[in-house]
Every structure is written in structure tokens, then in C-alpha cells.
A and B are shown apart, each in its own frame.
Chain A
Amino acid sequence: MKHIVKILTLVVAITALWIGLLQTSIIPRSHTWLLPIYFVVSLGCYGLLMVGVGLMNFPTCPQEALLLQKDIIEAKEYLNQKGVDVSSS
């Protein structure tokens, strides 16, 4: 099954549930009408929250850059000895 079909099935199921709520009036209709707006807003909040949390906990590795510089110097020395051209131009 294509992934878009899965997502559409989910959307249809949620819409069906909503229409069901409208029909049966378990909760006041005025509230039910607003549910899709709440849904979209909470989806947006979820996205923003995930991006925010991800940004705050973004893993960085400044020490790796230093280690890499050491590795580069070591590699250049070795390759120079072996007669490999490692000039940067």
C-alpha cells in the first residue's frame, strides 16, 4: 500500500469519527464544529515543539573538529614520507 493511502485512510477515519460526533451530539455541537481547528492547531504545535526540542538538544561535536585536524597532520606526514603529493594546491 502506498504511504499516501495510509495517511488518507487515517484522515478519512478521523473525519468519520468527527461526523459521527456531529450526528450523535454526545458533546455540544458548537464544540464539535471547532474540533478540526483544534486538531490542526495541535498538529502545528507538535511540529514546532519537535523542531524546538530538536534544536535545543542539537548534538554538536567541536572536539571532533580538533581531533580531525590532528588526524590530518598525521596523515600528511605519513603520505609525504611515502612520496604522495599532499600539497593543498
Chain B
Amino acid sequence: MDGQHKKEKNKYSIIVPTYNERLNIGLIVYLIFKHLQDVDFEIIVVDDGSPDGTQDIVKQLQQVYGEDRILLRPRPRKLGLGTAYIHGMKHATGNFVVIMDADLSHHPKYLPSFIRKQLETGADIVTGTRYVKGGGVHGWNLMRKLTSRGANVLAQTLLWPGVSDLTGSFRLYRKPVLEDIISCCVSKGYVFQMEMIVRASRKGYHIEEVPITFVDRVFGSSKLGGSEIVEYLKGLAYLLVTT
């Protein structure tokens, strides 16, 4: 295949939803530019009205890197993750969309492997997985690991999704594919990520995986309480009867 030739034309829109990430947004932008040097890309920051001045930092970053490379597309207040992606996508000019968290639990150094995997396989979606060789998690206690494994085994047994990491949110999509699946997803939080990948799998889209590592810096921030577990089980039941 003419992989090299194709690479010229591809453009990647990296959508980063933020809320109170004034420090991390600068760090992640620096790391994205460091690791994606010969790739055409733009970063779309969807900020949900952070009171800590995240948007001021983004404007400073625009001065450094250029307003055509970093797009600030704020919203007035917290309006949810799914709509943040839709909002960001409206302003995306690339033919591929990358979604990642702003808190540095997703490291931009993996972006080249997402792009390479897509070029090699022609996949519609490349999803980062923590649960294969080369991947991993740092900063989780035993309880967090236990719930994560339990949730994963339950979902694998009941849903047969064909993907090893359902709740990860570091993914690369063909833009039309993301537009197609996001319009029929209604869940929130962890379940939203799971619904996206399960619906994509059911629709027969070609999904590939690459290993990523996940560093939880704010220890205990992703602690799963009882209400999250109930939400997860509800989400699982919802996906069982609707997909």
C-alpha cells in the first residue's frame, strides 16, 4: 500500500475536554508537539468554563504554537463528556479524531503508535488498552484493581465486545465513524466509553488495539464507590438489551 503517500494527506484533530486543568493543559500540549513532529494535526481544547483560568493558559499557548494548531472552543459550563466531543468535532478539520484526557493519565508519546497502527491496518478505530503486554496502570490500590478486573470479566462474559479494555478513553477514530456512533450514545462517565466501543463493534467497524500505560497521578481520584458500581451495572444491562 502507499502508506507513505497517504500519510501526507491525513490530518488528526486531537480533542481534549478540560475542566480546571490550567497546569496540565500546557504540559500535554508541549508533549503532543514533542511526540508528533512530522504529522499534520490540530489540538481542540473544549473547556467547560473552568474557574481556574484554563482558558487564559490556552490563549498563552496559542501565542507560542499558533492559533491554527491550538483551537480553543469553550462552553459556558459543565455540560458532559459526550457533548464535549460533539462540540469539538464540529470544529475539527482533520479526517481523523483523537480523544484523550487532559490530566496526563494518557501520555501523548503513544500517539505515534495509534497513527502507525491505523495506517498499517486501515482500522476505523484504534483504542488504547491497559490490559495487554506493554500496557499497564500505575497508582491503583488493590481494591481499585479488583473492581476493575471484576467489571472487565463481567462485561467480557456478557457482552462479547471483542475489545480487551472497554472503559479506556484514549482512542483514535475516523471522523465519520465517531460522528456515526456518538449520535446514538446516551450514557455518561465510564459507561459512555464502553457504550461507544460496544456500539462500534456491533456496527461492524474495524477496531484495533494498541498498548498504553495509565498513570493515575492524583492518588485515589478514580476511586470507585458504590454508586459508580451501580451505575456500571445499569449501563451493562442497558447495553445488553439495546445493542
Chain A residues at the B interface, C-beta cutoff of 8 Å: 2-4, 7, 47, 50-51, 54-55, 58-62, 64-65, 68, 71-72, 74-76, 78-79, 82-88
Q: Is B158 an interface residue (CB 8 A)?
A: yes
Q: Is B177 an interface residue (CB 8 A)?
A: no
Closest 9 CB pairs of A and B: A61-B136, A59-B136, A75-B30, A54-B149, A61-B213, A64-B213, A50-B153, A75-B27, A84-B60
- Category for how many chain B residues contact A: 35 or more
Is there an interface contact between A3 and B240, defined as CB atoms closer than 8 Å? yes
Residues on A with beta carbons closer than 8 Å to the beta carbon of B160: 3
With both chains docked as a complex, state the minimum distance between the C-beta of B199 and any C-beta of chain A, in angstroms: 11
Is there an interface contact between A55 and B60, defined as CB atoms closer than 8 Å? no
Residues on B with beta carbons closer than 8 Å to the beta carbon of A68: 104, 107, 215, 217
Contact check: which of B133, B145, B243 meets A58 at CB < 8 Å? B145
With both chains docked as a complex, state the minimum distance between the C-beta of B32 and any C-beta of chain A, in angstroms: 10
Q: Is B206 an interface residue (CB 8 A)?
A: no
Contact check: which of A51, A65, A74, A75 meets B150 at CB < 8 Å? A51
Q: Is B218 an interface residue (CB 8 A)?
A: no
Q: Is B157 an interface residue (CB 8 A)?
A: yes
Contact check: which of B31, B149, B240 meets A75 at CB < 8 Å? B31
Contact check: which of A55, A62, A79 meets B26 at CB < 8 Å? A79
Is there an interface contact between B243 and A82, defined as CB atoms closer than 8 Å? no
- Complex formed: what's the CA distance from A87 to B146 in Å? 36
Is there an interface contact between A86 and B215, defined as CB atoms closer than 8 Å? no
Is there an interface contact between B61 and A2, defined as CB atoms closer than 8 Å? no
Give the one of A4, A50, A51, A84 with max B CB within 10 A. Answer: A84
Is there an interface contact between A51 and B146, defined as CB atoms closer than 8 Å? yes
Residues on A with beta carbons closer than 8 Å to the beta carbon of B26: 75, 79, 84, 86
Residues on A with beta carbons closer than 8 Å to the beta carbon of B61: 84
- Complex formed: what's the CA distance from A54 to B160 in Å? 17
Chain B residues at the A interface, C-beta cutoff of 8 Å: 22-23, 26-27, 30-31, 56-57, 60-61, 63-64, 104, 107, 130-133, 135-139, 145-146, 149-150, 152-154, 156-160, 202, 213, 215, 217, 239-243
Residues on B with beta carbons closer than 8 Å to the beta carbon of A86: 23, 26-27
Contact check: which of A3, A59, A65 meets B139 at CB < 8 Å? A65
Is there an interface contact between A2 and B242, defined as CB atoms closer than 8 Å? yes
Task: Name the residue on B nearest A64 (C-beta).
Answer: B213
Residues on A with beta carbons closer than 8 Å to the beta carbon of B107: 64, 68, 71
Known A-B contacts: A47-B154, A75-B27, A79-B26. Give 15 more (CB < 8 A).
A3-B158, A3-B160, A3-B243, A4-B240, A4-B241, A47-B153, A54-B131, A61-B215, A64-B136, A68-B217, A75-B26, A75-B30, A84-B61, A85-B56, A88-B23
Is there an interface contact between A55 and B240, defined as CB atoms closer than 8 Å? no
Residues on A with beta carbons closer than 8 Å to the beta carbon of B132: 59
Task: Name the residue on A nearest B216 (C-beta).
Answer: A65
Residues on B with beta carbons closer than 8 Å to the beta carbon of A78: 30
14 A–B contacts from the bound complex (CB under 8 Å): A3-B202, A4-B241, A54-B153, A59-B135, A59-B136, A61-B135, A65-B138, A65-B217, A74-B30, A82-B64, A83-B64, A84-B26, A84-B64, A85-B57
